[in-house]
Structure 1
Amino acid sequence: MAGSAPSRTLNVQSFPRPPLVERCNRHIQIMWHGALIADCPASEAYWVLETHHAPTYYIPPSRVRMPLCTTPRSTYCEFKGQATYYSLMSPASAADTVSNRIWSYTEPNKEYDAIKGYIAFYVGPWECYVDGERASPQPGEYYAGWITSDVQGVVKGQWGTWDPVF
């Protein structure tokens, strides 16, 4: 997938806290074992921007091309509320199922109602693309931001949940 030039620089140190949710006007695609498992045009995607976090992208469930199954896992975000997690069976092998790397907020706090039911993916094991550019994961396993060439600044996660110190 060919990447396009970033339209602006995103400095994570200037992102707000509490996080901001807004339409992001970016084309989001997710590939796994050569299959396109999610494809969301820019007009339908949201992102959540939070201080020291790479953007997290949310897409409508109708844009996920494979069935998701809920898992028992649940987490709580002080801003967005209770998260529901999903598993996804590989398009290459039924024996290859990944759990708890996809989530949504089915009943988010009112400030985040725009992403109600929308689906978010960690980067990996699938390939995640923003406007054709392959994203890298936010450091660590706790956060799920997508790092692209336009993301700058100190992104937290390398030391768990600790905020960077300047």
Structure 2
Amino acid sequence: MRRHERIEPGPGQESVWDYPRPPRVEPSTELVEVEVGGVVVASTRTSWRVLETSHPPTYYLPRTAFLDGALTPTRGDSWCEWKGRASYYDLHGGDAVARHAAWTYQRPMPGFEAIADAIAVMPGLVDRCTVDGETVLAQPGDFYGGWITARVVGPFKGEPGTLGW
């Protein structure tokens, strides 16, 4: 699928092709929850969506949304041209561990201060993520952390043939 095959959003939907580049951070009051090992390890109505052209939103939750002991720092980091250096966490719930499933920007670059020390989660690496009760789909590929709900339409970066977008 080529990016010029933009899916037209219906009522109440957003096209990821209307999102800006560089990305924008916006607050959200939607109920956002994360489950690991059959346990809701994070729940909040105070989060931030990072919106970037061709990507479904990535939700960042305040650290206080996570149960005590749910986050364990792990090795590795990555670099985002917009947000800076990310560090990673394993997520623990019940008897399960979702390895390398969450990340944070402790000192994000200018324009992204709102998400400093907030935690994002890869929905494809945990049991379930929900937004206002809707189970999200993970953004395609194994690198991006976008959350696909009925609210957003693509095509999405990460699908086959989108590497050069």
TM-score, normalising length: structure 2: 0.87
- 4+ runs deviating over 6 angstroms: none
Match runs of 1:56-135 below 5 Å: 56-67=58-69, 68-91=71-94, 93=95, 96-124=96-124, 125-135=126-136
Give the deviation of 1:7 after TM superposition.
Answer: 8.1
Cα distance in 1 for partners of 2:18, 2:102 equals: 27
Match runs of 1:119-158 below 5 Å: 119-124=119-124, 125-158=126-159
Q: How many residues align?
A: 154
- Three-state SS of the structure 2 residue aligned to 1:86 is strand
Cα distance in 1 for partners of 2:161, 2:73 equals: 26
Unmatched runs of 5 consecutive residues or more in structure 2? 1-9
Letter of the 1:87 partner, please give it: D
Change (3 A) 1:117 1:87: same
- Three-state SS of the structure 1 residue aligned to 2:76 is strand
- Three-state SS of the structure 1 residue aligned to 2:21 is coil
TM-score, normalising length: structure 1: 0.86
C-alpha contact 2:38 2:127 (8 A) present in aligned 1:
no
Report percent identity of matched pairs: 36
- Three-state SS of the structure 1 residue aligned to 2:64 is helix
Change (3 A) 1:37 1:74: same
Structure 1 residues 106-154: Cα deviation after superposition (integer angstroms, max 9, x where no partner):
0000210000000000103220000110000001111010000111121
Letter of the 2:105 partner, please give it: Y
